[in-house]
A and B are shown apart, each in its own frame.
Chain A
């Protein structure tokens, strides 16, 4: 479903030099799979997710998602592709300010255009109910707790029945109990919607719940794509 090869993202600097922020030789995901990308802050986890979502363009290399080479898509095609097939959950929730929980979820459906207009409200309400916010549909983002905001974000990510959900440090802003609860909800919701889950985190306990942990530095050229059998001792060294 997702295949990354020879991916490089670098930024030009003054004096004609460039700084590499990410290198990934090869990374693959199967449909419905749950994978955690782990690494310290600044190691390129968010950059990798931005590249997969198409909000960033790689400097070189290939990203194939659902059989589409993302680099071959125009920006407009990429926007439409992202809206239809990719869900996004952020560390800082990124709900639309002033919008209610229901409106946040419905807004995403408007861009995806996969769900018929007449069904959108019902689906948004159903998704919010599934993440335990059935009683908070019309609350605006600032009226919700952080845990509740992240749950709205999860519902929004799943709104268009995406093939993959990218979760960038989804529990980093939450306390321990809330973090576990939100992760369980995310994993369960992705499972029931049939979406793959690729999350970035520096929380190894959370990462190990996914079943497959990939240290981001292992993606660099010369390293192997580690799999589910990623040793705990190595993980601790990340």
Chain B
């Protein structure tokens, strides 16, 4: 009978302890691998979500706020860019595509984005297909037509032909500040991009401005009343027709860099590369991620100690078996091998199960993140995860040396006559 079979049988005899030990190893590995995969996957997912937007130009202020407004449709928008400034930017000879972007009201918590049909031509790389594609319906053609993101369609049940009324701000409550005089009609639904853009409701700039002008008018009329107030509002319309950001795709890399420098040297606006800003944010998040990793390593350490405890505890039970094996001819080296094989089997199964569970857990959490934050987290093979499983496996087998040596030293005669 091969030694491996004897080792396997011994493990089977202690199946409860064996399963608990395997479980602890698997949980330790799974948590570590899931944290590793998610931390790198979330970064990739966020960076991927920012790729189609090119260079963001917005009014001076926080770079992060501009990125959050535009890519994640979160946070309060910075003040608008002046219409003239945007016009000049769009007509700049170095620009191949300029897309206006205005973060506005909301419907059931989903933000309205004022833009132009050219928004739907954005692509991550020139050779890539358009990033935003219609799943059904058509693009907006006139004011108060809306194209909705995949998540908006899924969560609200809106479909082409339906209409809705937006609310001021991002509140989900529609009661006090509904713009009932301007209902929107859904004309198209976008395919899922598995990015925050799935949570957007896209309307043309005219809709965005008209909605805001009405707000201003209503506010001014209520405050001052009468014809004079209405005239004041008319005058301010031209100033108010700005955008919160411009998405700029220059014609060349040189154009990109010169424009970036020019804009940032000026006083009216700032230019931001989303990837660069996100990298800074990731740096800030790095210490938190590191803490999570340390937690995972502590879990792994505890798993290691449990393995040692379980294997060492088993040596006490195993003494009689070792004595029998020695009496029927097993040498000390064979006994040592059997015990090491036992720890190797436990670690192999624990590591394999933990490895699979780690990917499974990461996949489940990815689904959760996709569902709640609309960030597609790519989970691919990472050689680092294999290295972790390998190192833990080897450490576990090394930990098995302690009980193996104890078995090696078992006094045969002493345990042969014990009950």
Contact = CB atoms under 8 A, between A and B. Distances in A.
Interface of A: 46-47, 50, 53, 55-56, 75-76, 79-80, 82-84, 88, 90-92, 94-99, 103, 106-112, 120, 156, 160, 168
A98 B10 contact: yes
A120 B5 CA distance: 15
B16 interface: no
Main secondary structure, interface of B, reads: helix
Interface stretch (B201-209, B284-292, B318-326, B398-406): B318-326
A156 B328 contact: yes
A153 to B, nearest CB: 10
B413 A50 contact: yes
Contacts of A108: 328-329
Contacts of B326: 55, 79
Main secondary structure, interface of A, reads: helix
B6 A107 contact: yes
Contacts of A103: 1, 5, 9
Contact of B1 (A56, A97, A98, A106): A106
A83 B1 CA distance: 14
A160 B327 CA distance: 13
B97 to A, nearest CB: 73
A91 to B, nearest CB: 7
Contact of B9 (A80, A91, A98): A98
Interface centre among A84, A99, A106, by most chain B C-beta atoms within 10 angstroms, is: A99
Contact of B327 (A84, A91, A94): A94
A53 B324 CA distance: 13
B183 interface: no
A96 B324 contact: yes
Interface string B9-37: 11011000000000000000000000000
Interface string B387-419: 000000000000000000000000011001111
B328 A79 contact: no
B380 interface: no
Interface residues of B, number: 29
A103 B1 CA distance: 7
Contact of B416 (A50, A106, A110, A120): A50
Interface stretch (B54-62, B67-75, B217-225, B330-338): B330-338
B412 A55 contact: yes
A107 B1 contact: yes
B13 A83 contact: no
A199 to B, nearest CB: 15
B321 A55 contact: no
B333 A76 contact: yes
19 contacts: A46-B413, A50-B413, A55-B327, A55-B413, A75-B331, A76-B331, A79-B334, A83-B328, A88-B327, A90-B416, A92-B419, A95-B324, A96-B6, A98-B13, A103-B9, A107-B328, A109-B1, A110-B6, A111-B329
Nearest to B318: A97
B266 interface: no
A82 B416 CA distance: 15
B329 A84 contact: yes
Nearest to A121: B1
Given A94-B324, A97-B13, A168 B417 contact: yes
Nearest to B6: A107
A96 to B, nearest CB: 6
Contacts of A50: 412-413, 416
Nearest to A81: B329
Contacts of A83: 328-330
A111 B334 contact: yes
A68 B280 CA distance: 78
A142 B384 CA distance: 46
A112 B417 contact: no
Nearest to B11: A98
Contact of A96 (B2, B9, B329): B9
A96 B325 contact: yes
Contacts of B3: 110
Interface in B299-335: 320-321, 323-334
Nearest to A46: B417
Contacts of B412: 50, 55-56
